[in-house]
Amino acid sequence: MSTQIESRTVCIAVLPFENLSEHRDDDYFSRGFVEDLITDLAHFRNLQVISSYTSRKIGAEARHTTDLARELAIDYLLKGNLRRVAGHLRLSAQLLDAADERVIWAERFDVPMEAIFEIQDEIVAQVVGAISTQIDKVLLAAARKKPLTSLAAYDCWLRGMDQMRLGTPEADLEARRIFEQALEIDPNYSRAYAGLSLSWFNDWSCQIWEKWEETEQKAYAYALEASRLDDTDHIVQMILARILLFRRRFDQAEVHVDKSLALNANDSDCLVQLAFNKTYLGKAAEGEQLYLKALRLNPYRNVWYYPYGALTRFCQRQYEAFIEMALKAPLTDVWVDLPAYLAIAYAQTGRQRVATEYVDIFIDAFTKKITAGRPPQPAEIIDWLKKANPFKYEADTRHLIQGVMAAGLGDPDDTSQSIDEKRVPENITGAMSNRFVKQDGLWQMSFEGRSVRIPEVKGFIDIARLLAVPDQEIHCAELMGTPDSLSEPDPLLDEKARRAYESRIRDLQEEIRDAEAMNDLGRAEKLNAELDQLAEHLSKSLGLGKRARKLDAASDRARAAVTWRIRNAIRKIESIHPSLANHLNHTIRTGTFCSYTPEKELPWHF
């Protein structure tokens, strides 16, 4: 039985800043500045901030501040002064250890007086970011010296994240052990679940073939639990946003990005991750601004910042700026595919020989970390790059894939295949070969260089008919094969039978969730087939509403059944070919009239 150790929040008091200038009018600025510091520091979950009223009392007391700090259990004191000098306002700040008034951090800011109100928020953000980062460094240094069993929950979070930054499977395993120790201390500590989510996320993104389903589901489950326990923690919101981004649930991911920023916009490490999310969501310029703010808040940044900032440049086609920043980071320790990005940038700037060298570095890293020593096929690497880079927009994916092929990643006509799956890399280089055809009892679907075979579900026939006539509407009854029965009235469904149908549907949905959670895909497929048949049968008599009613016409039955069939079919595709499912979700419209409306013409073979 482990010892339960209470976790204590670090306490800080912001003392009144002294006005050293002759201008008494600057007093109001000093008071407002301190109030803003207190407000922004309070956004950090690990900091307990003494109120401004109490802080002023401490500053006015004649007794030594260390005595007062001890009585109030204050760990740190923030003090400073400001002085107007030759049209500039010079502000100095110091962070002190309250026990002995030892200076832990000090900084001076010098700004023009005419710009003081415009940049006041920026100064506050820099001071706040520096303080929170410095306090975490001090706490981490102390935590490293303690045995794991004597750590508080927040200490565990710091040590676990310190391990995570090493970026190795061994470090992830150790981080997991530390986060689990945090849960023994506090079973409801959301940050511990967030850390576990990130540790499985690392496994997921670095073992993308062998453990995709298992690790992705664990990463998502822990992120959800962290959010359930505390949906006001900005770090938890950032982690959930990143997981949803890789699930291609882009709109939801952006909601969590914005929520994280609203909760705390001054955490530099978190801002770097949010910059990553914004960039993949197609907002690289916004991502760059978040990244630059992170640099201002944490000038003594870790090297892992650089690839995130470099990505914002790459997606804006700023190749020279990308190269300069990317080369500041270890080539493959942070991102396996960083050398691939460098290869593209060098090729785009006319340095093909250097590009080829970086392609070789990337393939070597891919062989070691992804395929465990087995030489990969070019098309296999292409598929991995698509999964590991969750761009919202196809144009950004094409920019990456066409770029790495142009930089020298193998033969674009490679047709290597496995038993289950054949790659079609010629699609990547421009010669489209999109297929949606039934062959030998299975449906072959090829899109964006990847081809899969899937057992039939009824909605595939509907999708194929829509793909064959882009931008044309087809009545739902025609897709159902009942165009002559649009005006037949429908009898009411017996109430007892209706309840039985709906109860079975709920049971099936629960069983499907359990099967998917256990990664029992065979059972999930059978349950989905039964659910499909039951829902279609129910829709013919009732529709998909919750109240028994008499349908206006058979067209309502057809509309409900076709919508169900098509959406269920796309969900089936999503588990095997996510990019095709994403394309269909965005281009197929269902309703009384159904249609396939791609943004640009895409030839399909049937």
pLDDT in tens, 358-372: 998 898 888 887 877
Cα Rg of the chain, angstroms: 29
Mention every residue, 6+ apart, whose C-beta is less than 8 A from residue 173.
199
The share of the chain scoring above pLDDT 90, in percent, equals 16
Whether 278 maps to a domain, the answer reads: no
Structural domain range at position 39: 10-144
- pLDDT higher than 80, residue 579: yes
Tokens of 152: 């508080």
Residues 281-303, buried b or exposed e (16+ Cβ, 10 A)? bbbbebbbebbebbeebbeebee
173 assigned to some structural domain = no
- Return the pLDDT at 346: 94
Residue 263 falls inside a structural domain: no
What span, in angstroms and rounded, lies between the C-alpha atoms of 432 and 449?
8
Question: What is the reported pLDDT for 341?
Answer: 95
Look at residues 391, 424, 457 and tell me which one is the last residue of a structural domain.
424
More confident residue, 128 or 180: 180
Tokens of 43: 């956004």
Tell whether 414 and 376 lie within a shared domain. yes
Same-domain status, 500 and 381 = no
Q: Is the pLDDT of residue 174 over 90?
A: no
> 392 with 479, same domain?
no
Residue 592 neighbours by CB under 8 Å, 6+ apart = 475, 476, 555, 559
Q: Which residue has the higher pLDDT, 309 or 493?
A: 309
What pLDDT, on a 0 to 100 scale, did the predictor assign at position 494? 54
Decide which of 424, 455, 473 is a domain's last residue.
424
Quote the longest CA-to-CA distance of the chain: 94
Query: What strands, in cross-sheet order, belong to the sheet with 593-596?
Result: 474-475, 593-596, 588-589
Those residues whose C-beta lies under 8 Å from the C-beta of residue 561, and which sit 6 or more positions away, are 476, 480, 536, 539, 540
pLDDT score recorded for residue 429:
34
Q: What is the pLDDT of residue 399?
A: 92
Same domain, 339 and 385: yes
Residues 449, 348 share a domain: no
In a domain, 575, yes or no: yes
Does 441 or 277 have the greater pLDDT score? 277
The pLDDT score that the predictor gives to residue 301 is: 57
Token output for 163: 């391990």
**Total domains present in the chain:** 3
Please report the pLDDT score of residue 7 as a whole number.
45
Q: Which of 22-36, 227-241, 409-423 bottoms out in mean pLDDT, i.e. has the lowest?
A: 409-423
**Cβ contacts of 538 within 8 Å, gap of 6 or more:** 493, 498, 501, 502, 505, 544
- The DSSP result for 176-199, as a single string, is HHHHHHHHHH-TT-HHHHHHHHHH
Residues 514 and 398 both lie in one domain: no
Q: Do residue 485 and residue 378 come from a single domain? A: no
pLDDT at 350 over 50: yes
380 pLDDT higher than 60? yes
Query: Mean pLDDT in the chain?
Result: 76
Q: Are residues 517 and 599 in the same domain?
A: yes
Given 144, 164, 190, the domain boundary residue is 144
Shared domain check, 463 and 351: no
427: pLDDT strictly greater than 50: no
In a domain, 255, yes or no: no
- For the segment 398-417, the average pLDDT, to the nearest whole number, is 71
| Spatial separation of the C-alpha atoms in residues 513 and 527, rounded to whole Å | 10
pLDDT of the residue at 483:
52
Q: Residue 24 carries which DSSP code? A: G
The owner of tokens 């300069």 is 324
- Does 398 fall in a domain? yes
Instruction: In whole angstroms, give the CA distance from residue 268 to residue 291.
Output: 8
Output the CA–CA distances (angstroms, integers) from residue 105 to 101, 127, 138, 341, 560, in the order listed.
11, 10, 11, 37, 65
**CATH of residue 96:** 3.40.50.10070
pLDDT tens per residue, range 204-263: 555 444 566 677 788 888 888 988 888 888 888 988 898 899 889 999 999 999 999 888
- Altogether, the residues listed in the chain come to a count of 606
CB 603, CB 432: distance < 8 Å: yes
> Which of 41-45, 54-58, 375-379, 521-525 has the highest mean predicted lDDT (pLDDT)?
375-379
439 pLDDT tier (thresholds 50, 70, 90): confident
Task: Dig out the tokens for 502 from the structure.
Answer: 């709906």
| Confidence category of residue 310, pLDDT binned at 50, 70, 90 | very high
Does the residue 319 lie in any domain? no
Residues 411, 476, single domain; the answer is no
Whether 601 and 452 map to the same domain: the answer is: yes
pLDDT of residue 413: 43
Average pLDDT score over residue span 36-55: 72
Per mean pLDDT, which range of 144-153, 168-177, 593-602 is the poorest?
144-153
Res 469 pLDDT > 70: yes
Residue 567 domain-assigned? yes
Q: What letter represents residue 490's amino acid? A: D
Angle, helices 234-246 vs 212-229, to 10°: value is: 150
Distance CA 414, CA 300 (A): 46
Q: State whether 388 and 439 are in the same domain.
A: no
